[in-house]
Structure 1
Amino acid sequence: MTAGGMKAGGMFELIRLTIRNPLGGWLVLAARNWTLADRWGLVFATAAASAILSWLGAQLLPASGGEAGLLAVLAASPMSMAGVQVASAALGAFLLSEVGRVFGGTGRFPDALLAVGWIEAIMVAFQVVQLLATLILPPLGALVGIASLLLAAYLMVGLTMAVHGFRNPLLVVMGILGTVMLASFLLSVLAATLNLFPGGPA
């Protein structure tokens, strides 16, 4: 049994439903008895699972010296990776709820947190598939990775519409892109101000 009273078999069935029909999947998901603690638990659990899978992938498929970067550093430290993912999920849920409400949406932060956590859960499932595919045939793993990114974007648009009751997917896409660009710019300015970039001036 998982958070929200969901059994493992039901979870995979709900994943399939969400991929086929994000609104239908959201209605089933949101109808379950999710407390706020359950929603946070989903975020923490998916972050932990993703961090462990990233670490496992780094051990089984070590990157060459030229490919080592921030992601490789985080993958080597599951706790750091999980912390970054939880923070990213919390920020994403906050932006999803507040920006959506600015444009007339009806979703609240707990709804956005559940939506983000559920997207992460689906991505963890695909991360397992990608790791297995990469071990068997690396090019296939790369294709699964690309498909996962496209699926994540599709689910973000679909679940944003479901959470806020939006009807126009094009406007949602534009809103998400604008929010991501603005948030990235502000975070970059903050990082530069605090000298968080590696190799930056002391």
Structure 2
Amino acid sequence: MTPGLGDLLRLARFTVSDPRAGARAVLMMDLPLQARWLVLVFSAVAAALVTSVGLTLLPPEVQALLGDDLPSPLASAALQVALLVVASGVIHRVGQWRGGKGNFADAMVLVAWLQFILVCVEVLQLVAQLVLPFVADILGVLGIMLFFWLLSHFVAELHGFRSTLAVLGGILVVMFGMAFVLAAILMPVLGA
């Protein structure tokens, strides 16, 4: 039986309150690899569409500041898919390097699940932007905190690590390291 949207939203709420148990529940679905790819692509497309809607709801003066250089929703979705695949690969490889037991397919489904939950938060943020803009700002900050909270628990559960705090430290080190390498690669291309 395929879960409906209501089931997914209930599981998302449960996952936020107990991330490791939520991650286990997602992994116990034991989706075939093709379904995992579809879930990943769907979550990326949903994120791109919600972001696109959010950009159209910005005040005209903010839209003017952003200009016409924003990517199309299709290009944004393709970029999202690429980033989610890279994130899955990094989570898998770095976790295994540190003695973890997780695999790429499980990393991919957990990354897609994390993206789905963040899309739900972004939808709430869009609704708040229309009704109570200051709440949208608070939701934005909470969304960033939720990202790190869930990611550290998901990685810990995926790889069988005990300390989510140590995992969070590892995530931050890897993120800063990747940002440094990316900056070193792009600086000569883009010009410092």
SS in 1 for 2:51: helix
Question: Is 2:186 the partner of 1:191?
Answer: yes
For 2:4 and 2:63, the matched residues in 1 are separated by 42
Q: Deviations over 1:17-76 (max 9, x none)?
A: 111111111111111131111111111111111111111111121452685289x723xx
Name stretches of at least 5 consecutive residues in structure 1 with no aligned partner: none
Name stretches of at least 5 consecutive residues in structure 2 with no aligned partner: none
Aligned runs of 1:1-202 on 2, under 5 Å?
5-62=2-59, 64=62, 67-68=65-66, 73-74=70-71, 77-193=72-188, 195=189, 197=190, 200=191
1:149 offset after TM fit, Å? 0.9
The two structures have a TM-score, normalised by structure 1, of 0.87
- The number of aligned residues is 191
Counterpart of 1:144, as a letter, is L
1:12 offset after TM fit, Å? 1.2
Counterpart of 2:140, as a letter, is G
SS in 1 for 2:102: coil
1:78 offset after TM fit, Å? 0.6
Aligned Cα root-mean-square deviation (Å): 2.0
For the 8 Å contact 2:155–2:167, the answer to whether it is kept is: yes
1:181 offset after TM fit, Å? 0.9
For 1:33 and 1:156, the matched residues in 2 are separated by 20
For 2:162 and 2:121, the matched residues in 1 are separated by 28
The two structures have a TM-score, normalised by structure 2, of 0.92
For 1:17 and 1:59, the matched residues in 2 are separated by 31
With a CA cutoff of 8 Å and minimum separation of 6, indicate the structure with the bigger relative contact order.
2
